[in-house]
Amino acid sequence: MQSHVVQKTRLAMLAAACVALMAASPAHAADKIGVSMPNIKGPWFTPVLFGISDEAKKLGYEVTILDAGGYANVDKQVSQFSNLVVQKVSAILMDPANPASFNGVVREAKGEKIPVIGAGSPIVASNVDADAAASSSHCSIGHELAKGAKTLLPNGGTIAVLAGPPGAFWASDRLRCFKEDLAGGNIKIVAEQTSEQDPAIALSLANDFLQRFPDVNVLYGADDTYGVGAARAAQGAQKCGKVKILFAVLGEAAEEMMRAGCADYVVAQQPVVIGRTAVQLMDAIVKGKPLAAKKVEVPLIPVTAANLNSINKTGMQAPKGWTP
């Protein structure tokens, strides 16, 4: 009946209007840059994004941050990257969930003359070079972690490994170089398992390890999420200090655990510095200035309870309460 058609059309327009209302009208004032990350939250990505946002603001850029919601959502990240290319941003900073998947879209970006810079990753795609990259070498992290293991276990011992997200090259690189350094020595790895990058899952995995190997000496965490999970497990089992916790990245929670005596050796990266450096490199490229070096390695800082209070943490952590 007539009234139904009218009703339906009205509702359709209402729906369209709702969509429009929900849309944020972008202001096309400053230069826009895009940031594409696998994840947005967590002790790693938050400080990187802080570094990027802060530096970008200083230099007068508008930043669009897109995250895929997890390392598993590679296709989503590829899609989001594509979207940034279509928006013709001035540059894209990214950390690929899986470098092999980005060859096609990075080529597209280059085709549109959009520079692609690695932020927290030395590479952006397996077969296409990044225009620049700021990161810490994951292998170096692995070596530092090995140093830490030897420091904690001068007379040898056993380690259980929380290896990181399945298929994440940063985690596997770290572990590879870690193992290289320990080969032939008196430190043995008794268990090794990947898991999603989630604090609750890491805690559960660490508890599992403690159950299966009550006498294990060290728990290794691929990064802060895993390390803090392991530390909490040790805390819960009242084994702080008895089981040593070794991991990379010093976030807020990691710091707390160290002060509580439950985290023993952390190879701290400086994600904020990484973020800022990436932006600076980007700025240079966009403005046509020559680059001193295309790939910048940001130094690592080994942290223990001893030097916890004396090191400079501004390069490591975002200001309290900041969210991307």
Partner 1 sequence: MTLSTRTLSSDENRVKPLAFLQRYGREIGLPIIVLLMVIVFSINSAVFLSLPNFRNIGVSAAALAAVSFGQTFAILTAGLDLSVGAIVALVSIVGALVMREHGVVAGLAASLATGVAVGLVNGLVITRFKVFPFIATLAMMSIVSGLALSLSGGVAVTGVPEAFSSLAYARTLGVPIPVVIAVAVLAACIVVLRYTKLGRRIYAVGGNEEAARLSGIPIGAVKIAAYVLSGVCAAVGSLILTARVASGQPSLGVTLPLESVAAVVLGGVSLFGGRGSVVGVAFGVLFISILSNGLNLLNVPSYTQMMVIGGALILAVSLDQIFIGTKAGKGN
- The residues binding partner 1 (CB under 8 A) are 1, 4-5, 7-9, 11-13, 15-20, 22-26, 28, 64, 66-69, 72-76, 78-80, 82-83, 85-88, 98, 100-105, 107-108, 126, 166-167, 194
Alpha-carbon separation of residue 178 from 95, 162, 194, 258, 322 (angstroms): 22, 13, 16, 22, 32
Question: Do strands 132-135 and 91-94 pair parallel, antiparallel, or not at all (unpaired)?
Answer: unpaired
- Complex with partner 1: residue 75 or 180, whichever CB lies closer: 75
Q: What are phi and psi of 41, to 5 degrees?
A: -110, 165
Strands (E), 149-199: 157-164, 187-194
Work out how close the CB of 162 gets to partner 1 at its nearest, in angstroms, rounded to a whole number: 14
- Complex with partner 1: residue 68 or 234, whichever CB lies closer: 68
Work out how close the CB of 130 gets to partner 1 at its nearest, in angstroms, rounded to a whole number: 17
Strands (E), the chain: 31-37, 61-67, 91-94, 116-119, 132-135, 157-164, 187-194, 218-221, 244-248, 265-268, 295-297, 301-304
Asked if 251 contacts 237 with a C-beta cutoff of 8 angstroms, the reply is no
Work out how close the CB of 141 gets to partner 1 at its nearest, in angstroms, rounded to a whole number: 20
- Complex with partner 1: residue 22 or 293, whichever CB lies closer: 22
Work out how close the CB of 166 gets to partner 1 at its nearest, in angstroms, rounded to a whole number: 4
- Complex with partner 1: residue 21 or 183, whichever CB lies closer: 21
Work out how close the CB of 293 gets to partner 1 at its nearest, in angstroms, rounded to a whole number: 28
Alpha-carbon separation of residue 89 from 26, 132, 136, 153, 291 (angstroms): 13, 17, 26, 50, 21
- Complex with partner 1: residue 39 or 270, whichever CB lies closer: 39
- Complex with partner 1: residue 49 or 263, whichever CB lies closer: 49
Work out how close the CB of 311 gets to partner 1 at its nearest, in angstroms, rounded to a whole number: 35
- Give helix 271-286 / helix 45-59 axis angle, nearest 10°: 40
d(CA 108, CA 86) in angstroms, rounded, equals: 10
